[in-house]
Amino acid sequence: MLKEDKAASGQAGISPVERLNALVAPDMKVADKLIHKGMASSVDLIPDLARHLIDSGGKRLRPLLTLAAAKAGGYQGDGHVRLAAAVEFIHTATLLHDDVVDESALRRGKVSANLVWGNKSSVLVGDYLFSRAFQLMVETGNLAVLGILSGASAVIAEGEVMQLGSARSLAVTEDHYMKVVSAKTAALFAAAAEGGAVLAAQGADFVTSMRAYGENLGIAFQLVDDALDYSGRQALMGKSVGDDFREAKMTLPIILSAARADGTARAFWQRVIETGNQTEADLHHAISLVEQTGSIQETMRRARAYADAAKNALAVLPTSEIRSALSDIADFCVERAY
Amino acid sequence: MLKEDKAASGQAGISPVERLNALVAPDMKVADKLIHKGMASSVDLIPDLARHLIDSGGKRLRPLLTLAAAKAGGYQGDGHVRLAAAVEFIHTATLLHDDVVDESALRRGKVSANLVWGNKSSVLVGDYLFSRAFQLMVETGNLAVLGILSGASAVIAEGEVMQLGSARSLAVTEDHYMKVVSAKTAALFAAAAEGGAVLAAQGADFVTSMRAYGENLGIAFQLVDDALDYSGRQALMGKSVGDDFREAKMTLPIILSAARADGTARAFWQRVIETGNQTEADLHHAISLVEQTGSIQETMRRARAYADAAKNALAVLPTSEIRSALSDIADFCVERAY
Residue B77 has phi, psi (to 5 degrees) of -80, -160
- The Cα of B139 is separated from the nearest Cα of chain A by a number of Å equal to 8
Give the pairing type, strands A110-111 and A106-107.
Answer: antiparallel
Q: Which of B45, B124, B154 shows the shortest C-beta gap to A101?
A: B124
- Tell me what pLDDT residue A11 has: 45
Which ranges of chain A does DSSP label H, i.e. alpha helix?
Answer: 16-23, 25-38, 45-54, 61-72, 79-102, 113-117, 119-140, 143-165, 174-181, 187-200, 204-228, 232-236, 243-246, 252-259, 263-269, 280-292, 295-313, 321-335
The DSSP bridge partners found for residue A107 are A110
Cβ contact B72:B323 at 8 Å: yes
A289: Cα separation from own chain's centroid: 26
Q: Which of A125, A141, A154 shows the shortest C-beta gap to B135?
A: A154
3-state secondary structure at position B238: coil
Chain A and chain B share a number of CB contacts under 8 A equal to: 131
Nearest to A197 by CA among A221, A173, A178, A214: A214
Count of CB atoms situated within 10 Å of the CB of B92:
24
- Tell me what pLDDT residue B29 has: 98
pLDDT > 50? residue B330: yes
**Beta strands, E only, chain B:** 106-107, 110-111
- The Cα of A37 is separated from the nearest Cα of chain B by a number of Å equal to 14
Q: Which of B101, B135, B162 shows the shortest C-beta gap to A43?
A: B162
- Tell me what pLDDT residue B40 has: 95
- Tell me what pLDDT residue A2 has: 66
Chain A contact set for B90 (CB, 8 A): none
B182 near A CB under 8 A: no
The per-residue b/e assignment along B298-328, b for 16 or more CB within 10 angstroms, e otherwise, is bbbebbbebbebbbebbeebeeeebbbbbbb
**pLDDT single digits (tens) B151-194:** 999 999 999 999 988 888 999 999 999 999 999 999 999 999 99
Residue-by-residue pLDDT tens, chain A, 338 positions = 566 554 444 445 789 999 999 999 999 999 999 999 999 999 999 999 999 989 887 889 999 999 999 999 999 999 999 999 999 999 999 999 987 866 666 565 667 777 777 888 999 999 999 999 999 999 999 999 999 999 999 999 999 999 988 888 999 999 999 999 999 999 999 999 999 999 999 999 999 999 999 999 999 999 999 999 998 777 666 667 888 898 889 999 999 999 999 999 999 999 999 998 998 899 999 999 999 999 999 999 999 999 999 999 999 999 999 999 999 999 999 997 66
Residue A106 has phi, psi (to 5 degrees) of -130, 145
Please count the residues of chain B: 338
B167 near A CB under 8 A: no
- Tell me what pLDDT residue B12 has: 53
CA atoms within 13 A on the CB side of A256: 23
∠ Cα A256 A261 A266 (to 5°): 110
A125 near B CB under 8 A: yes
**What interface predicted TM-score (ipTM) does this complex get?**
0.92
Chain B contact set for A164 (CB, 8 A): 45, 120-121, 124
Q: What is the 8-class DSSP label of residue B314?
A: G
Query: Does A164 sit within 8 Å of B151, measured CB to CB?
Result: no
Residue B46 burial by Cβ neighbours in a 10 Å radius (0-12, 13-18, 19+)? buried
d(C-alpha B97, C-alpha B184), whole Å: 12
pLDDT > 60? residue B1: no
- Percentage of chain B modeled with pLDDT above 70: 91
A304 near B CB under 8 A: no
Q: Which of B45, B138, B158 shows the shortest C-beta gap to A150?
A: B138
pLDDT > 90? residue B235: no
CA atoms within 13 A on the CB side of B176: 20
Nearest to A109 by CA among A188, A191, A3, A28: A3
Chain B contact set for A143 (CB, 8 A): 138, 141, 143
Nearest to B313 by CA among B179, B155, B207: B207
Nearest to B303 by CA among B160, B163, B125, B178: B178
B95 near A CB under 8 A: no
d(C-alpha B172, C-alpha B184), whole Å: 16
- Tell me what pLDDT residue A157 has: 97
Cβ contact A193:A213 at 8 Å: yes
- The Cα of B19 is separated from the nearest Cα of chain A by a number of Å equal to 33
A147 near B CB under 8 A: yes
Chain B contact set for A100 (CB, 8 A): 119-120, 123
Mutate: best of B134, B155, B175, partner A, most A CBs <10 A? B134
Mean pLDDT of B87-103: 88
Nearest to B178 by CA among B260, B250, B105, B114: B250
- Percentage of chain B modeled with pLDDT above 90: 77
Residue B106 has phi, psi (to 5 degrees) of -130, 145
- The Cα of B241 is separated from the nearest Cα of chain A by a number of Å equal to 24
Cβ contact A165:B136 at 8 Å: no
d(C-alpha A191, C-alpha A13), whole Å: 30
DSSP H or E stretch at residue A107: strand A106-107
d(C-alpha A108, C-alpha A33), whole Å: 21
- Tell me what pLDDT residue B114 has: 74
DSSP H or E stretch at residue A106: strand A106-107
- Tell me what pLDDT residue B305 has: 98
Query: Does A124 sit within 8 Å of B161, measured CB to CB?
Result: yes
- Tell me what pLDDT residue B7 has: 43
The DSSP bridge partners found for residue B111 are B106
Cβ contact B127:B64 at 8 Å: no
Chain B contact set for A134 (CB, 8 A): 134, 146, 150, 153
Write down the mean pLDDT value for chain B.
Answer: 91
Query: Does A160 sit within 8 Å of B151, measured CB to CB?
Result: no
- The Cα of B191 is separated from the nearest Cα of chain A by a number of Å equal to 14
Chain A contact set for B91 (CB, 8 A): none
d(C-alpha A299, C-alpha A334), whole Å: 11
Mean pLDDT of B288-306: 96
Single-letter residue type at B320:
S
| DSSP code string of A10-46 | --SS--HHHHHHHHTHHHHHHHHHHHHHHT--SSTHH
A95 near B CB under 8 A: no
Cα end-to-end span (Å), chain B: 21
Q: Which of A125, A127, A138 shows the shortest C-beta gap to B147?
A: A138
d(C-alpha B41, C-alpha B107), whole Å: 23
- Tell me what pLDDT residue B8 has: 41
Helices and strands per DSSP (H, E), number in chain B:
18, 2
pLDDT > 50? residue B11: no
Chain B contact set for A97 (CB, 8 A): 123-124, 127
A121 near B CB under 8 A: yes
| DSSP code string of B282-296 | HHHHHHHHHHHTTHH
Chain A contact set for B43 (CB, 8 A): 158, 161-162, 165
Cβ contact B86:A122 at 8 Å: no
Mutate: best of A124, A162, A182, partner B, most B CBs <10 A? A124
Chain A contact set for B132 (CB, 8 A): 150, 154
d(C-alpha A108, C-alpha B309), whole Å: 50
CA atoms within 13 A on the CB side of B198: 21
In chain A, the residue whose alpha carbon lies closest to the alpha carbon of B159 is A43
- Tell me what pLDDT residue B105 has: 61
Query: Does A45 sit within 8 Å of B157, measured CB to CB?
Result: no
Tell which wins on pLDDT, B90 or B57: B90
d(C-alpha A290, C-alpha A297), whole Å: 9
B46 near A CB under 8 A: yes
Q: What is the CA radius of gyration of chain A?
A: 20
d(C-alpha B290, C-alpha A114), whole Å: 36
